[in-house]
Amino acid sequence: MNARYCEYFCAIEESGSISQAAKKLGISQAALSKFLSEQESRMRAVLFVRRSRRMYPTPAGRAVLDASRRILETRRITLRAIARLGAPPAGTLRVACTPYRGTELFSRVYTRFAAEFPRVDLCLEDTYSATQEEKVHDGTVDFALGANCHAAFDDVCNLAVSREEIVLAVPPFHPLASYAGRDADSMVSMPIRAFWDTPFVLPSRRNNIRLVADRLFREEGFSPIIAFESDSSIAVEYMLRRGAGAGFVSRRYAAEMTEMTYFRLDPPCYEVTYLRWRAGRALSDADRFLCGLLLDERSRSQEHSLIQGAQVQEFLRAVSERGRGA
């Protein structure tokens, strides 16, 4: 397989449809459909099947996708090494992301960025959202991606880019658990005031979820009973799973933490993610492409919805235009 064919296979899997993959690749739907038919005939195997209006790889398709990704990654590494031979780095972009989820996002962005800007180094710094604005203000980092806007510095741009719903997880033996849903699709709404006498498991005040929780408690006018509190997200998750109390989690965790029952908050509560940079910064092509990649990867999560706006669209265009020119 040549690299272009590998890109075709990966685009079909990522997009879930021939039409969307063709649009992403900048070719006609008919051409991509013909390509897939020819490859399946040549390999004597069905590579994708359609279920619920989405295309999924078969076992043979997964084998082809694994090989395709290895080929594309090898190409990226090779091109990056060649581009840097005899040439010093063109600069470094320092990005602050929250631990765990931010780091996971950055890892997906890194290889895509390096393929387009091989001479620009990317440096990641794990930073809780509560201190991100300060790091952008003092020049420690160039960009930051995290939740909750503190607006502590006039010289820091805080662009709201996406939001994710926060839900309340309660142990299955809680008196109200019989009214709760067991997953994200069956949750009912409940005001947080109904849990005024419930012990809570909470992260530290540096954590995004805790900032949201404290605001909710203030608005409802009561102080929670805190059964457990920790800087460690892993420890908080463990204690929730053990039934030590109720806690706030992102909606996507409702599918993973099956030991709990879940309520939507009434009114609904959302964690907003902000992209941050220094006001007055003249954004380079590399800057816009990096920001666009962060937003593009974030949009791939079903739980996150992008907050549309002119600046968000500009960043996403920086990615799509380079994709068409590749």
Tell me the pLDDT tens digit for each residue of 257-314. 778 889 999 888 888 999 999 999 999 999 999 999 999 988 877 677 899 999 999 9
Residue 324 has pLDDT above 60, yes or no: no
- Integer CA distances (angstroms), 133 to 53, 127, 312, in order: 42, 10, 19
Question: What's residue 325's pLDDT?
Answer: 43
Q: Which residue has the higher pLDDT, 251 or 195?
A: 195
Confidence band of 326 (pLDDT split at 50, 70, 90): very low
Q: How confident is the model at residue 155 (pLDDT cuts 50, 70, 90)?
A: very high
Domain extent listing, the chain:
3-82, 163-272
Residue bearing tokens 């990867």: 297
Tokens describing residue 108: 């997906």
Domain 3-82 has CATH 1.10.10.10: yes
Q: What's the CATH code, domain 163-272?
A: 3.40.190.290
* Mean pLDDT on 196-225: 89
Rounded to an integer, the average pLDDT of 193-219 is: 89
CB-based contact 33:48 (threshold 8 Å): no
Amino acid at 81: A
Q: How confident is the model over 89-121, as pLDDT tens digits? A: 678 999 998 876 677 777 778 878 887 888 888
Cβ-Cβ contacts under 8 Å for 258 (sequence gap 6 or more): 182, 183
Segments in the chain forming alpha helices (H): 3-15, 18-25, 29-43, 59-84, 101-116, 132-137, 208-220, 233-241, 285-299, 310-325
Q: Is the peptide bond before 89 cis (omega within 30 degrees of 0)?
A: no
